[in-house]
């Protein structure tokens, strides 16, 4: 089985490879057609769906995957969120979201100025390539959970739905 994931981000590609170990996984940069920093559940989910659709239509694959990180506000608190989408060749789509954690207020202030979370986290943590490695989730969980772990959880949810539907 060939799978195209609509990203070349190592954390996202690794998540797909972890869950679909027997598949050929190809990372391909595609547009999410949403802002570079999604600011709601709806926008983040739409970004994941768009990536999955663009991935399946950009090559000869059985499955297209879209994984998107974003932020959303709950009761005046900004949370880190993640969504994923899996689409097959028939157009059937499956979606899943992952765990959420609150972000420190100073992170939210910078995001509201228009900066992307990855850039803000590099400044905050004094590290390079945070979005490709541990992610904000890794920083705020003391490296107990990485960005790849978050997306792997979503990938298991997507694969499970896909397999159940195709019994």
Tens of pLDDT along the chain (167 residues) come to 899 999 999 999 999 999 999 999 999 999 999 999 999 999 999 999 999 999 999 878 999 999 999 999 999 999 999 999 999 999 999 999 999 999 999 999 999 999 999 899 999 999 888 887 888 999 999 999 999 999 999 999 999 999 999 98
Give me the CATH topology for the region 2-101+146-165.
Maf protein (3.90.950)
Identify the pLDDT of residue 132: 78
pTM (2 d.p.):
0.93
Please give the torsion angle defined by the CA atoms of residues 56, 58, 61 and 62, in that order, rounded to the nearest 10 degrees. Answer: 20
Give the up-direction half-sphere exposure of residue 101: CA atoms within 13 A in the CB hemisphere: 15
d(CA 29, CA 124): 27
């Amino acid at each position: 089985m060939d799978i195209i994931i609509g990203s070349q981000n190592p954390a996202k590609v690794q998540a797909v490879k972890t869950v679909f170990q027997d598949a050929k996984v190809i990372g391909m940069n595609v547009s999410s057609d949403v802002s570079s920093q999604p600011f709601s559940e709806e926008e983040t989910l739409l970004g994941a769906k768009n990536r999955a659709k663009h991935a399946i239509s950009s090559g000869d694959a059985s499955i297209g995957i879209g994984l998107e990180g974003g932020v959303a506000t709950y009761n005046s608190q900004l949370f880190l969120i993640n969504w994923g989408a899996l689409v097959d060749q028939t157009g059937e789509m499956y979606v899943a979201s992952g765990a959420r954690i609150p972000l420190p207020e100073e992170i939210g202030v910078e995001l509201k100025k228009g900066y992307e979370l990855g850039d803000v986290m590099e400044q905050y943590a004094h590290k390079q390539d945070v979005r490709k490695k541990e992610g904000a989730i890794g920083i705020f969980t003391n490296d107990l959970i990485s960005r790849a772990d978050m997306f792997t959880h979503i990938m298991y949810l997507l694969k499970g739905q896909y397999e159940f539907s195709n019994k």
